[in-house]
A and B are shown apart, each in its own frame.
Chain A
Amino acid sequence: MLNYLVRRLLIAFVTLLLVTFVIFGLVRNMPGTPLTTDPAMMDPSKQISPEDLRRLEKLYGLDKPWYESYFIWIGNLARFDLGRSIAQNNRPVIGLIGERVGATLTLSATSLVLTYLLSIPLGLWTTVHSGSVRERTLSTVLYMLYSLPSFVAALFLQILLAVKLGWLPLLGMVSDDYASLSGLGKAWDIFCHALMPVACFTYGSLAYYTRFIHSNMQEVIRQDYIRTARAKGVPPRRVIAHHAFRNALIPLVTLIGLTLPALLSGAVILERIFTWPGMGSLFFESISQRDYPVIMGLTLVFSILTLLGQLLADLLYAVVDPRVSYS
């Protein structure tokens, strides 16, 4: 087991180095630098002289070739220094990311909890009522939701709930008068703003998980031990919850590991549509500003989470299913 873990971690480490190397090369070779894409520079009166530009490039280390900069970046990383943002007033990258984590987690963690809370009962319900008209309707609706692109859903919801009915605020995370609200008012304000984004984050995975549980349960309830349990007189409810669902859990657990990166990466399009100040928005901004340190910091976080998620999925698999072992 330990052997396996060490080998996996080593492979993950190498993959991480390669991923950051490729991304570093790609972003550094995108046309434009953080110094030339700054909107203030477009104004001819504020344009800096070539000497100043060269001085700034030297200051930020942009005068070196990218592979050299990469090794400097790795060196700093080894000392847990992600560098400072170029486009956003020299602020440390860790601080910038830390500011945005809360907003993204508000959406993704809520949506993850909601997904599990709703999809498990729905999945079990569709299994029990399999073939009935109600189940077919629900499954069809879920299938359609699964195919509905989240940005289309977000725009439709905005038109319906914010523009036509005026029930919910259209954009943002807080209202303009947020600072003057009381503690409870603040919470309510964020709640109202978060409703639509959370719904858009949730419905797709809800549909996917429900279908996933349903199809796994369909496979499990055909097993012999379920027939045995029924035959010996176990109540139907207990057969489903205790005998069948516990075995359908195995693939579900591996899914948890794979959702780990989604927890922090947010969704760029959704956060853009709702102008939600999360990680996805930061990512989008940093790419359009060519803010290399921020792009690299975010890429690092996302890649680590992806690799950890895959590892976690495999490990959890061995934990839930005693037949699987890695020794």
Chain B
Amino acid sequence: MDTDRTTIKDSPSRGFWAEAWLRFRQRKMAMMALYYIGFLCLIALLSPAIAGTKPIVCRYKGTLYFPAMGYFNRRWEKPVFQRDRFYRIYPTNLQKNDPNSWAVWPLVYQDPYRRVRDGEWDDRPGNPTGTDGQPSRRNLLGTNQQGFDVFAQMVHGTRIALTVGFVSMGIAATIGVFVGSLAGYLGGWTDVLLSRLIELVMCIPALVLILALIAIIDEVTTWHLMAIIGCTSWTGIARLTRAEFMKLKQLEFVAAAQAMGASHWRIMFRHILRNALAPILVPISFGIAAAILIESGLSFLGFGAPPPNPSWGTLLSSGRATIEQTWWLIVFPGAAIFLTVLAYNLIGEGLQEATDPRLRQAGQ
């Protein structure tokens, strides 16, 4: 360190984001939260390879197939297996229809969408149903009343939890930033009207709005839920963006851009938004936590996508029906929801302290 002080550094000064990242990295809890979210992303990406009943890779009648991709999108599972009447049970049917076939199986042979029956895999007994599905060697986290494996549901539910957070906050951030920047930059009547709109949406009880929108849809899927959550939770971001834009549009660089003849559009989204991005990211991070909460809460109340969808909230709600016997249906998904919400809150707080110049000066 001492030698550092005597030599003159000629390294270029760090940019805003590099500086923020350096500060963020110093916060142990925030970094742990970031690692945890990364870990969840990994689980979500690899979910068909961790738990499933479809082979990751298999060679069947001379062709290579990837049936496990069917967990991401049903259409990615080749129709040949349906034509050959597999009925979603691969191990025995592969052997029966093509003795030369081989397959690479997921780590755990359990399915989030159905019960594994007797003798599907090496004469293994089927999953217990009712309230008998305690955690065991075969069902690591137990099974629900229909005999679906909880571990498989949790692993595949990670995908739902993560996409819900990102997609619905993506929608909310787009609407919020757009409305907020228009109101803040243009001011005048636009501002009055848009501010009233924001206030109006804030005053409508969120639950009525969400439930009414859900009721209008015939067949609710998780994607619908994401769109609805996104369309109802943009107000906070819009207000913050408006305040930031009102502050930033007074600065010299905006006047300079105007003098150079830049269009309003360019000034708003190339010049101002870049500088306003850091404070806007903070409510977005908290918003992801809130979106996950809303989704699991709605699924818990029975307004989510109909089962069998492996959302953590759905698991909780099935556990609540038999709460006196099936603790494992509540403890594991509950802990997963808690940890994920905690992680996003920690990341949000870390971002806040890493990017807020006032806190930065106080720290030094």
Does A268 sit at the interface, judged by CB under 8 A?
Answer: yes
Known contacts A26-B209, A27-B212, A155-B330: A149-B323 contact under CB 8 Å:
no
Residue of B nearest to A21 (CB): B200
Contact between B216 and A155, CB atoms less than 8 A apart? no
Query: Which of B18-26, B93-101, B108-116, B331-339 sits within the interface?
Result: B331-339
Contact between A151 and B300, CB atoms less than 8 A apart? yes
Contact between B199 and A15, CB atoms less than 8 A apart? yes
Contact between B212 and A156, CB atoms less than 8 A apart? no
Known contacts A146-B345, A283-B207: A31-B301 contact under CB 8 Å:
no
Chain B hits for A29, CB < 8 A: 212, 216
With the chains together, A295 CA to B205 CA distance in Å? 11
Does B8 sit at the interface, judged by CB under 8 A?
Answer: no
Contact between B323 and A15, CB atoms less than 8 A apart? no
Does B208 sit at the interface, judged by CB under 8 A?
Answer: yes
Contact between A30 and B212, CB atoms less than 8 A apart? yes
Residue of A nearest to B339 (CB): A147
With the chains together, A283 CA to B212 CA distance in Å? 13
Q: How many of A's residues come within 8 Å of B, CB to CB?
A: 41
Q: Give chain A's interface secondary structure class.
A: helix
Known contacts A15-B200, A268-B301: A295-B293 contact under CB 8 Å:
no
Contact between B297 and A30, CB atoms less than 8 A apart? no
Does B157 sit at the interface, judged by CB under 8 A?
Answer: no
Name the distance in Å between B219's Cβ and chain A's nearest Cβ: 12
Does A265 sit at the interface, judged by CB under 8 A?
Answer: yes
Does A148 sit at the interface, judged by CB under 8 A?
Answer: yes
Does B249 sit at the interface, judged by CB under 8 A?
Answer: no
Chain A hits for B346, CB < 8 A: 147
Contact between B323 and A268, CB atoms less than 8 A apart? no
Contact between B320 and A155, CB atoms less than 8 A apart? yes
Residue of A nearest to B341 (CB): A147
Known contacts A159-B331, A306-B203: A151-B297 contact under CB 8 Å:
yes
Residue of B nearest to A32 (CB): B215
With the chains together, A152 CA to B342 CA distance in Å? 13
Known contacts A18-B200, A287-B211, A299-B205: A272-B301 contact under CB 8 Å:
yes
Chain A hits for B296, CB < 8 A: 149
Does A19 sit at the interface, judged by CB under 8 A?
Answer: yes
Residue of A nearest to B202 (CB): A306
Contact between A287 and B208, CB atoms less than 8 A apart? yes
Chain B hits for A307, CB < 8 A: 203
Residue of A nearest to B325 (CB): A163
Does B289 sit at the interface, judged by CB under 8 A?
Answer: yes
Chain B hits for A268, CB < 8 A: 207, 301
Contact between A269 and B300, CB atoms less than 8 A apart? yes
Contact between A303 and B320, CB atoms less than 8 A apart? no
With the chains together, A307 CA to B204 CA distance in Å? 11
Known contacts A30-B216, A149-B297: A156-B204 contact under CB 8 Å:
no
Does A104 sit at the interface, judged by CB under 8 A?
Answer: no
Does B161 sit at the interface, judged by CB under 8 A?
Answer: no
Contact between A19 and B203, CB atoms less than 8 A apart? yes
Contact between B338 and A148, CB atoms less than 8 A apart? yes
Does B102 sit at the interface, judged by CB under 8 A?
Answer: no
Q: Binary interface profile of B, 281-302, with partner A (CB < 8 Å = 1, else 0)?
A: 0000000010001001100110
With the chains together, A189 CA to B250 CA distance in Å? 62
Q: Binary interface profile of B, 200-227, with partner A (CB < 8 Å = 1, else 0)?
A: 1011110111011101100000000000
Does A302 sit at the interface, judged by CB under 8 A?
Answer: yes
Contact between B327 and A163, CB atoms less than 8 A apart? yes
Does A23 sit at the interface, judged by CB under 8 A?
Answer: yes
Contact between B341 and A27, CB atoms less than 8 A apart? no
Does A158 sit at the interface, judged by CB under 8 A?
Answer: yes
Does B4 sit at the interface, judged by CB under 8 A?
Answer: no
Contact between B341 and A149, CB atoms less than 8 A apart? yes
Name the distance in Å between A299's Cβ and chain B's nearest Cβ: 6
Which of B208, B293, B338 counts the most A-chain CB atoms under 10 A from its CB? B208
Contact between A23 and B293, CB atoms less than 8 A apart? no
Which of A16, A151, A307 counts the most B-chain CB atoms under 10 A from its CB? A151
Does A113 sit at the interface, judged by CB under 8 A?
Answer: no
Residue of B nearest to A272 (CB): B301
With the chains together, A105 CA to B178 CA distance in Å? 40
- Closest 3 pairs between A and B when the two form their complex, measured CB to CB: A26-B212, A147-B342, A30-B215
Point out residues on B near A: beta carbons under 8 Å. Answer: 196, 199-200, 202-205, 207-209, 211-213, 215-216, 289, 293, 296-297, 300-301, 316, 319-320, 323-324, 327, 330-331, 334, 337-338, 341-342, 345-346
Q: List 26 A-B contacts (CB under 8 A).
A: A15-B196, A22-B204, A26-B212, A26-B213, A27-B212, A30-B215, A31-B216, A147-B341, A147-B342, A147-B345, A147-B346, A148-B342, A151-B297, A151-B300, A155-B323, A155-B330, A156-B330, A158-B323, A159-B330, A164-B327, A269-B297, A272-B301, A273-B320, A283-B207, A287-B211, A302-B205
Given contacts A32-B215, A269-B300, A284-B301, 14 further A-B contacts (CB under 8 A): A26-B209, A26-B212, A146-B345, A147-B338, A148-B341, A148-B342, A149-B297, A151-B300, A155-B316, A155-B334, A156-B334, A159-B323, A265-B205, A299-B208
Point out residues on A near B: beta carbons under 8 Å. Answer: 15-16, 18-19, 22-23, 26-27, 29-32, 143-144, 146-149, 151-152, 155-156, 158-159, 163-164, 170, 265, 268-269, 272-273, 283-284, 287, 295, 299, 302-303, 306-307
